[in-house]
Chains A and B, each alone.
Chain A
Amino acid sequence: MKWETVIGLEVHVQLMTRSKIFSGDSTAYGAAPNTQACDVSIALPGVLPVMNREAARLAVKFGMAIGAEINRTSVFARKNYFYPDLPKGYQISQYETPIVGRGSLEIDPGDGPKTIGITRAHLEEDAGKSLHGSSGDFTGIDLNRAGTPLLEIVSEPDMRSPAEAVAYLRQLHALVRYLGISDGNMQEGSFRCDANVSIRPLGAAELGTRTELKNINSFRFVEKAIRYEIERQIDILEDGGTVVQETRLYDADRDETRSMRSKEEAHDYRYFPDPDLPPMVLEDAFLAEVKESLPELPHDRRHRFIEHYGLAPADAAQLTNERTQADYFEAVAEATNAEPRTACNWILGELNAALNQEGIPVEASRIDSDALAGLLDRIADSSISGKIAKDVFSAMWNGEGDADSIIEARGLRQITDTGAIEAVVDEVLAASPDQVRQFREGNQKVIGFLVGQVMKKTRGKANPKQVNETLRRKLDA
């Protein structure tokens, strides 16, 4: 039987606020345990939550970016369960009326664009952290993270393969970073994913029984965990068994998923509106202010880069993945006489390689956009070849000055003087009788060797196009 995979994803995004969602605790990562856990965070009796405006603003910003309905009135609800890292005995979340309603995200898993529906996105508070094993027979609780604002983004079950799931996650990750609503740091838990996976016979309308995969905290693990789970479910069904609806934990070390029995009975959360928090009503002025703050969205910008600058779609997509990188490109493209495509190639090639080598973001680049534009100008006016330009780039990266002063200081200006090039070509032809004979016997490839010899003699400074032309002219004579 042919099977179809159905995947829906729930992503928890930590919003980039300074303080927690319902208290004045700092949200900074890495502080000593419980030093950012005030009376609200540890749930002392009698304390009251006070909502952070910025958390609402960032949630609305996301909603607008995915073209979603924004619920002007939304309600906070209590989700009741007992766990030591949740001292109140309930998590404040949103249930029936989330702040962000239905929207969508366009992904490209490699075989053309596809639109993934987003069911909703709601605000909630994070729980604390349980630390097992360090304190003998006890579990240690750190409540610094308790109350950190989260936006839970729930997709429709629209994905049909692990590759689509990863493409959606990457797109979402890029978007929240682009919008500046989250740092998206997966190691620190700022971007966490749960996957709902089910299998059904190809062509069936009804959904199969799903399992929920937790603890998949990297793009690679998402793909592996889903792949494993699909195989597991197909094996069960083909052996005549039934899939049990349950929560399963992905174990990266063993590359398998296993049942989390402890949570099986816990799915009765008894949600009800939190009496401590009246409905949140967003005013027109607030919504207008958020709309005003929206940057040009990656999707729109990608299309503009293709139309306006003539970039290849894949390059435009890569450039607009990060807002700072897209900004850098535009600054270079506007400042240089070189083709935008050249600027794009240099940014995605040399510049990214240099940045990656040092693990720094583009805004910390040692070559700013004006400096790179200056270098590209010298390629555009044939002062230097692309090959020499790479050496100049390295020198600029090492702080030796701007492109012009390095070219001058090192005497790198390209030889375009016809007489000078002809002289070297003659020299090379005289010294390579074998190759000249081979070329005349029809072996066109030796031209490469001869060009190489001329470039070597001129220390790379001869204009390659001119060298090629001169050689051919003389050899054909």
Chain B
Amino acid sequence: MSSINSEQVTHIARLARLKTDEEKSDYFAGHLTRILDLLEQMNRIDTESVEPMAHPQDVHLRLRGDHVTAESRREDYQAIAPLADNGLYLVPRVIE
């Protein structure tokens, strides 16, 4: 039986940039473990001959021709951006 502990919840929350605290992590750990329990049940079903599903609908990807159809709308988009300068979107300094 697999389960999720609160450290794992904190880790995933960090990767997803979600704020969480100890109390909430414990709470979600319990909930997520119950979901895993459900998956455990499903795992017991024989799916040997079933192809994995990548999409809920039985449709195929539509392909478009290789044409340039977009025009620059930089002024419009940068007018609603929090910060822009010299045509660039500005974000807090990223240190590599």
- A residues apposed to B, CB below 8 Å: 17-19, 23-26, 32-39, 42, 44, 50-56, 75-76, 80, 82-84, 96-97, 130-132, 134-135, 137-143, 260, 262, 268, 270, 273, 275, 277-281
Q: Please determine whether B91 and A278 come into contact, CB atoms closer than 8 angstroms.
A: no
Instruction: For residue B40, give the distance in angstroms from its CB to the closest CB of chain A.
Output: 20
Provide the bound-state CA to CA distance between A75 and B93, in Å: 35
Residue pair B57, A278 in contact (C-beta under 8 Å) = yes
User: Which of chain B's residues have a CB closer than 8 A to the CB of A76?
Assistant: 61
Contacts known (A51-B61, A273-B54, A279-B60); A139 close to B91, Cβ less than 8 A:
yes
Q: How far is the CA of A34 from the CA of B72 in the complex (A)?
A: 8
Residues in B neighbouring A37, C-beta threshold 8 A: 74, 77
**Which of A55, A96, A140: most chain B Cβ within 10 A?**
A140
Interface size on B, residues (CB 8 A): 39
Q: List residues 58-86 of chain B with CB under 8 A from any CB of chain A.
A: 59-70, 72-74, 77-78, 83, 85-86
B55 contacts A278, CB within 8 Å?
yes
Asked if residues B94 and A84 are in contact (CB atoms below 8 Å), the reply is: yes
Chain A interface, DSSP helix/strand/loop, else mixed: loop
- When the two chains form their complex, are residues B92 and A138 in contact, meaning their CB atoms are under 8 A apart? yes
B residues 1-33 in Cβ contact with A at 8 Å? 11, 15-17
Whether the Cβ atoms of B61 and A273 lie closer than 8 Å is no
Starting from the known contacts A35-B72, A131-B88, A141-B88, 5 additional A-B residue pairs (CB-CB under 8 Å) come to A36-B72, A130-B94, A138-B92, A141-B91, A279-B61
Q: List 10 tightest A-B contacts by C-beta distance, closest first.
A: A24-B69, A140-B88, A54-B66, A53-B63, A38-B70, A33-B87, A35-B72, A138-B90, A280-B61, A141-B89
A26 neighbours in B (Cβ, 8 Å): 68, 70
Question: Whose C-beta in chain B lies nearest to the C-beta of A143?
Answer: B89
Complex: A278 Cα to B62 Cα, angstroms? 8
A142 and B52 CA atoms in complex are apart in Å by 38
Q: How far is the CB of A300 from chain B (nearest CB, A)?
A: 28
**Interface assignment of B96: CB less than 8 Å from any CB of chain A:** yes
Shortest CB-to-CB span from B57 to chain A, Å, is 7
Cα of A134 to Cα of B56 in the assembled complex, Å? 46
Pick from B16, B57, B78, B93: contact of A138, CB under 8 Å: B93
Closest residue on chain B to residue A268 by CB atoms: B15
Q: Is the CB of A33 within 8 A of B96?
A: no
A140–B64 touching, CB < 8 Å: no
Contact A53 B66 (CB under 8 A): yes
B59 — which chain A residues lie within 8 A by C-beta? Answer: 278
Q: Which residue of A lies closest to B66 (CB)?
A: A54
Alpha-carbon distance A75/B52, docked complex (angstroms):
11
Residues of B within 8 A of A (CB): 11, 15-17, 52, 54-57, 59-70, 72-74, 77-78, 83, 85-96
The smallest C-beta distance from A83 to any residue of chain B, in angstroms, reads 8
Say whether B92 contacts A278, CB under 8 Å: no
Interchain CB contact under 8 A, A24 and B70 = yes
State which of B15, B62, B63, B90 has its C-beta within 8 Å of the C-beta of A270: B15
Closest Cβ neighbor of B69 among chain A residues: A24
Q: Is the CB of B63 within 8 A of A52?
A: yes
Residues of B within 8 A of A137 (CB): 92-93
The chain A residue sitting closest to B53, CB to CB, is A273
With A75-B54, A132-B96 in contact, do A281 and B60 touch (Cβ < 8 Å)?
yes
| CB–CB A262/B96 < 8 A | yes
In the complex, which residue of chain B has the Cβ closest to the Cβ of A97? B54
> Quick check: B96 and A135 within 8 Å, CB to CB?
no
With CB as the reference atom, state the residue of chain B lying closest to A54.
B66
A273 touches B66 (CB 8 A): no
A76 to chain B, nearest CB (A): 8
Contact status A34-B74, CB under 8 Å: yes
User: B73 contacts which chain A residues (CB < 8 A)?
Assistant: 38-39
A79 smallest CB distance to B (angstroms): 12
Q: Is the CB of A139 within 8 A of B86?
A: no
A342 to B42, CA, bound (A): 72
Closest to B55 in A: A278
Query: How close is A219's CB to chain B, nearest CB, in angstroms?
Result: 24
Question: Closest approach, in angstroms, between the C-beta of A133 and any C-beta of chain B?
Answer: 9
- Closest Cβ of chain B: how far from A218's Cβ, in Å? 20
Query: Which of A32, A44, A50, A135 is most buried by chain B, counting CB atoms within 10 A of its CB?
Result: A135
Q: A75-B54, A278-B55 are in contact. Are A19 and B17 (CB under 8 A)?
A: no
Q: Which residue of B lies closest to A23 (CB)?
A: B70
Q: What are 19 pairs between A and B in contact, CB < 8 Å?
A: A19-B68, A24-B68, A38-B73, A50-B62, A51-B61, A76-B61, A132-B94, A134-B88, A138-B85, A138-B91, A139-B90, A139-B93, A140-B90, A141-B89, A141-B90, A142-B87, A268-B15, A278-B55, A279-B61
B15 touches A56 (CB 8 A): no
- B64 contacts across to A, CB distance below 8 A: 50-53
A283 to chain B, nearest CB (A): 9
